[in-house]
Amino acid sequence: MSTKQRFYKKIKIPLQIYNLITLIIVLTAVFGYINFRFIKLPGTIGIMLISLLVSLLVIVIGWVHPHFFIKITNLISTIDFNTALMKVMLGFLLFTGAIHIDIKKLKTEGAAIITFSTIGVLISTFLPPSRTHPTNLSTKFYQPLQSFYRQNFLGLNN
């Protein structure tokens, strides 16, 4: 067993996922360079536009070579996007979002931010999960919170 294989076994990341993450990062860098050099759109918009164009290119190539499209589709279907987004990428996304915040603009929009965030929290707190989440997965978390709010804020007993 090579050192590389022991490393991946130790941190429990399959080599395929590591290669896929590397490929996504390299593609993002290439798309960012193409955008910066030729298209000259804002970074996120340019990368998204190029990503959409590449996705359309994969679909068009799939019409000519269906095996290629099936292989790409099978590769994408192996990714657990919930885990990838919530456990791997969320921290990076929050950090990069926070690093680009202009504090002066944030202060000028403070009242609107507080108003809309409070309204959003109140709506998500008091609406039943069957109306906000179609699979009802959050019911076990919603019921204790509902009881807490009824008892402490509304003065009602269950």
Distance of CA 157 to the CA centre of its chain: 39
Q: Among residues 61, 77, 78, 81, which one has the least CA distance to residue 69?
A: 61
Mean predicted confidence (pLDDT) in 16-22: 73
Across residues 55-68, what is the average pLDDT?
Answer: 89
Residue 7 has pLDDT above 60, yes or no: no
Helix (H) or strand (E) holding 27: helix 15-34
- Predicted TM-score (pTM) of the model is 0.51
Considering only residues 84 and 133, tell me which one the structure prediction assigns the higher pLDDT.
Answer: 84
Cα-flanking dihedrals φ and ψ of residue 147, to 5°?
Answer: -60, -45
Nearest residue to 55 (alpha-carbon basis) of 41, 35, 76, 34: 76
Taking a C-beta distance cutoff of 8 angstroms, is the pair 93, 100 a contact?
A: no
Residues 105-148 pLDDT 10s: 889 999 999 999 999 888 877 776 555 554 554 555 556 666 66
CB 51 within 8 A of CB 31: yes
In this prediction, residue 38 carries a pLDDT of: 93
> For residue 50, what pLDDT band results from cuts at 50, 70 and 90?
very high
CA 114 to chain centroid, in Å, comes to: 24
Residue 148 is predicted with a pLDDT of 67
Predicted local distance difference test score (pLDDT) of residue 82:
79
Mean pLDDT score, 50-71:
89
Query: Which carries the bigger pLDDT value, residue 131 or residue 54?
Result: 54
